[in-house]
Chain A
Amino acid sequence: MQFVHRPDFGALMSEPLLQAVNLQCERDKRILFRELSFSILPGTLTRVEGPNGSGKTTLLRILAGLNDAWTGELKWCGAPLASQREAFLRNMLYLGHRPGIKPLLTPLENLRALMAGRNPLSDAALRQALQGTGLGGYEDVPCRNLSAGQQRRVALARLLVADEPLWLLDEVFTAIDAEGVKALESLLQQRADEGGAVLVTTHHDLTLPGMKRLTLGAGGLPDER
């Protein structure tokens, strides 16, 4: 996988993009995590770890602003996130379990629709991104005729054209074959090296040089290494 679109992160300051202070989340009367504080700096790759049910997905949804059931403080570039909502959304890319791929549309139409509100690109660039994720020749086949892994790859094509500096990726390696996993790993690494910030949850054994870890315990206090 190769980037189609390479944003210049030179303008990024070395201050944290996103900061969480004393984050606490309770679900079904169970505390998923509390007193969770961390910073996400540009140029870092962070893996959120923890067993099933420890709140990895919930944490990512909280950071993205999709979940309101939390207390604490979130800051975007030093200012309260709530006051920076639009700027934050412009600079953040979230990929969840359900990546927003319409089965009735083709990969190209899906990618075009997903980029329409963020960064409309030419069809040539979008096709190049789809080819980059190994979907060459499938650009105009309805997604419901594609395999689960191929559908995930349509969502991954967004990463190749994304200009958002912050990526929140939930279980991004799901259904991707071994070769694809390797390519995706190096893509994430490359992104971090170029100054982007990547936060990823995965059960796949991801170990990259310079990778940070954020460990959530099952119901207990999380410890940050």
Chain B
Amino acid sequence: MNAEARPVVRLAGNSVGALAAMKGVFVRDMKVAFRQRQDLLNPLLFFVMVVTLFPLGVSPEVSFLREAGAGILWVAALLSVLLSLDHLFRHDFDDGTLEQLVLQPQPLFLLILAKTLVHWMLTGLPLVILTPVLGVMMHLDGNSIGILCLTLLIGTPVLSLIGAIGAALTLGLRSAGVLLSLLIIPLYIPVLIFGTGTVAAAAEGATVGAYLALLGAFLVLALTLAPFAAAAALKISLSNG
């Protein structure tokens, strides 16, 4: 009998679909995150602290804050996401959860997408929600705050997705922090430029449709490519670990 044509053994038990498996990953990661709430607050506190230090350290002038506010908020959000990235896979790597994740029969990139979604919902999304308050503090007008929130809403998932690649690549290393930043920041720069550029254009009264479309394109690109790259990187890190 031809070996290729032979039916492959599948025994009792139903095969689990990708969506159910993703939900399993999502629920577990959410539970783990909410059992250590202090870790959830870290990126938020960092974000608030960096933003509040600018008026104190540089200038409390309304004209300066209005001009630099959006940029400051974007940079603080970017660094805040960057700081939280190391935890994305680290604990799972240490306790063996990652091995079991790789050995699940469902496509790994989908499971990573679920993990990244949790990461965004617990870091990026709270930053977006907090932004209007800090925007008012920076004397941004209502329109700018709205646009800023929109760019962060589209931009922070991109940061999480690209970050997942870097976190997966540097997993096997003992001091991954610096390398992670060096790998990831160049990839973050286009997102930052278009994120702040959108707000600047809106402040000048220009239409922002094109900027937002480009940010959206970044998001689509990251959504479609980053999980694959992160999955491949994870397998390499596990193979060396």
Chain A residues near B (Cβ < 8 Å): 7-9, 11-13, 17, 64-69, 75-79, 84, 86-87, 89-92, 94, 96-105, 109, 113-114, 116-120, 142, 163-165
CA distance A27 to B218 in the complex (A): 40
| A-side contacts of B11, CB under 8 Å | 7-9, 11-12, 91, 163-165
CA distance A168 to B206 in the complex (A): 62
CA distance A102 to B30 in the complex (A): 12
* Set B3, B4, B28, B105: member contacting A102, Cβ < 8 A: B28
11 A-B pairs in the complex with CB atoms less than 8 angstroms apart: A8-B11, A68-B236, A78-B6, A79-B6, A87-B10, A92-B103, A100-B97, A117-B25, A117-B111, A118-B13, A163-B11
Looking at chain B's contact residues, the main secondary structure is: helix
CB pair A94 B99 closer than 8 Å: yes
CB pair A113 B104 closer than 8 Å: no
**Residue of B at shortest CB range from A155?**
B96
CB pair A102 B24 closer than 8 Å: no
**Residue of A at shortest CB range from B236?**
A68
Looking at chain A's contact residues, the main secondary structure is: loop
CA distance A7 to B12 in the complex (A): 5
Given contacts A105-B32, A105-B35, A118-B105, 10 further A-B contacts (CB under 8 A): A79-B4, A87-B10, A94-B103, A97-B96, A102-B97, A113-B25, A116-B23, A117-B111, A120-B16, A163-B11
The 9 closest A-B pairs by CB, nearest first: A116-B24, A98-B96, A7-B12, A117-B21, A163-B13, A78-B3, A113-B28, A100-B100, A89-B105
**Residue of B at shortest CB range from A158?**
B100
CB pair A113 B35 closer than 8 Å: no
**When each residue 80-100 of chain B gets 1 if its CB lies under 8 Å from chain A and 0 otherwise, what string results?**
000000000001001111111
CB distance from B69 to the nearest CB of A (A): 38
CB pair A102 B95 closer than 8 Å: yes
CA distance A76 to B6 in the complex (A): 11
CB pair B94 A98 closer than 8 Å: yes
**Residue of B at shortest CB range from A161?**
B13
Are A105 and B238 CB-contacts (below 8 A) given A11-B9, A79-B4? no
CA distance A98 to B96 in the complex (A): 5
CB pair B28 A118 closer than 8 Å: no
CB distance from A101 to the nearest CB of B (A): 6
CB distance from A91 to the nearest CB of B (A): 6
CB pair A13 B9 closer than 8 Å: yes
